[in-house]
């Protein structure tokens, strides 16, 4: 414990952490140029996972609103960005064709607007009702898109065309992920982040102290949905194929949930750890026995909630922290 503790005390120095973070990001920058296309794609998926995890953690981990409809915003962002780079396939006029970056921003904006419209309605629900309501909403959005073959390609899917290469897209996604994390950290540390945590802990008490719950719920929900829309946009523009079946699938919700629960819900770095851990797990499982991947994921969700509710982030803390939370946890 003491050896780990001394590593821990060094790790907890802000300067060490900053250096390590910069090194990690720099290493990621080299990925497209030093590895194969397959490995680049794996790491790209990791970046999308970080975006999804971070965005869902904001609304669920910090604001305490268990939305099970995150996949809808991811998918909607993906489709809007696809319509903007390749409008012809949906029968839209070619004049609205946009460059990739603008299209992804458009996808994010569309997801944010969708959240802005449905948010006040969904937030009339609380707790379990909110969770199931968002699950139903996501299903409705998916079924409608599936039904509108002209816009979504139905179950055959939608092919995306754009001019950026894979390497450039990867670097763009990396920059966006870093930027998104900084925005997320800033929001969590801001007074609004405090408001979110207050309504998470006790909505009644918070609102009696003048914290207006709807305001902070909506703030978290809209920002989180826009981030999911960005992730969806990147996914569409990198893989160049989306479909209402797979891109709006509840699978994305599942992945997001696993990432956040694995990493540690309501902790800043949790979703980042969770995303890379899940990526490794998922990639290995796909190779070893693809069909068991989901079973393992589901089991992991259950196991983590029961045995390590604070996730990997919590475990790391008890290992590396020498005095404060480490021993406190031992005493319990």
Partner 1 sequence: MGRVRWTSSTPSRPGASGNLTVAALLPTYQMVSLDLVIESLLNGLLLGGIYAVAALGLSLVFGIMDVVNLAHGHMLMVGAYVAILFFMATGITPLIGMILAAVILFGFGMVLHVVILDNVVGEGIEQPIIVLFGLALVLQSVGRILLGSEAQAAELGIPGSAISIGSATLSFPRVVTFVVALVLILGTWAFLRYTTTGLAIRATAQNNAAAQYMGINTDNIFALTLGIGTALAGAAGALLSMLFPITPFVGWSYLLKAFAVVVLGGVGSIAGTLVGGLVLGVSENVGVLYLGGGFRDIISFSIFLIVLLIRPHGLFGKSGGGE
Phi, psi of 91 (to 5 degrees): 75, 20
Choose which of 295, 319, 323, 324 interacts with partner 1 (CB under 8 A): 295
| CA dist., res. 287 & res. 291, Å (int) | 10
Classify the C-alpha dihedral 11-12-13-16 as positive or negative.
positive
**326 in contact with partner 1 (CB under 8 A):** no
Nearer to partner 1 by C-beta: 102 or 305?
305
Choose which of 116, 194, 250, 329 interacts with partner 1 (CB under 8 A): 250
Task: Single out the segment in contact with partner 1 by CB under 8 A; choices: 15-23, 28-36, 134-142, 185-193.
Answer: 134-142
Q: What is the closest distance, in whole angstroms, from the C-beta atom of residue 95 to partner 1 in the complex?
A: 32
According to CB under 8 A, which residues from 137 to 176 bind partner 1? 137, 139-140, 142-144, 146-147
**294 in contact with partner 1 (CB under 8 A):** yes
8 Å CB contact between 57 and 44: no
Q: Find, among 285, 252, 278, 253, the residue nearest to 264 by Cα.
A: 278
Nearer to partner 1 by C-beta: 109 or 250?
250
Helix/strand/coil for 268: coil
| CA dist., res. 278 & res. 283, Å (int) | 8
Q: Find, among 320, 104, 88, 237, the residue nearest to 312 by Cα.
A: 320
Choose which of 6, 16, 126, 190 interacts with partner 1 (CB under 8 A): 126
Nearer to partner 1 by C-beta: 273 or 320?
273
For 298, other C-beta atoms within 10 Å of its C-beta total 12
Nearer to partner 1 by C-beta: 184 or 304?
304
Classify the C-alpha dihedral 217-223-227-230 as positive or negative.
positive
Nearest 5 degrees, angle CA 201-CA 205-CA 206? 70
According to CB under 8 A, which residues from 57 to 86 bind partner 1? 60, 64, 66, 68
Nearer to partner 1 by C-beta: 142 or 177?
142
Binding site for partner 1 (CB under 8 A): 41-42, 45, 60, 64, 66, 68, 121, 124-129, 131-133, 135-137, 139-140, 142-144, 146-147, 239, 243, 245-246, 248-251, 254, 257, 261, 265, 282-283, 286, 290-295, 297-302, 305-306, 309
């Amino acid at each position: 414990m003491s050896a780990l503790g001394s590593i821990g005390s060094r790790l907890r120095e802000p300067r060490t952490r900053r250096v390590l973070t910069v090194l990690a990001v720099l290493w990621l920058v080299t990925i497209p140029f030093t590895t194969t296309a397959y490995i680049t794609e794996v790491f790209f998926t990791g970046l999308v996972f970080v975006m999804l995890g971070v965005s869902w953690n904001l609304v669920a981990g910090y604001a305490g609103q268990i939305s099970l409809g995150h996949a809808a915003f991811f998918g909607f962002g993906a489709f809007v960005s696809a319509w903007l780079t390749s409008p012809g396939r949906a029968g839209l006029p070619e004049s609205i064709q946009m460059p990739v970056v603008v299209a992804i921003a458009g996808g994010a904006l569309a997801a944010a607007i969708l959240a802005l419209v449905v948010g006040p309605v969904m937030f009339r629900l609380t707790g379990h009702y909110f969770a199931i309501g968002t699950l139903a909403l996501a299903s409705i959005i998916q079924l409608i898109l599936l039904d509108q073959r002209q816009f979504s390609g139905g179950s055959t899917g939608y092919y995306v065309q754009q001019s950026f290469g894979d390497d450039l897209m990867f670097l763009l996604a990396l920059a966006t992920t870093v930027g998104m994390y900084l925005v997320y950290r800033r929001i969590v540390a801001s007074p609004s982040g405090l408001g979110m945590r207050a309504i998470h802990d006790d909505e009644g008490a918070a609102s009696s102290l003048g914290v207006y719950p709807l305001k902070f719920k909506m703030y978290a929900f809209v920002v989180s949905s826009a981030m999911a829309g960005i992730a969806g946009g990147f996914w569409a523009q990198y893989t160049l194929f989306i479909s209402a079946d797979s891109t709006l699938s509840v699978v994305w919700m599942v992945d997001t949930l696993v990432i956040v629960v694995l990493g540690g819900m309501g902790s800043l770095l949790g979703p980042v750890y969770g995303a890379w851990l899940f990526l490794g797990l998922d990639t290995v499982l796909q190779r070893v026995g693809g069909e068991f991947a989901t079973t393992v994921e589901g089991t992991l969700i259950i196991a983590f909630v029961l045995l390590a509710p604070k996730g990997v982030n919590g475990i790391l803390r008890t290992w590396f922290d020498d005095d404060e939370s480490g021993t406190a946890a031992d005493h319990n």
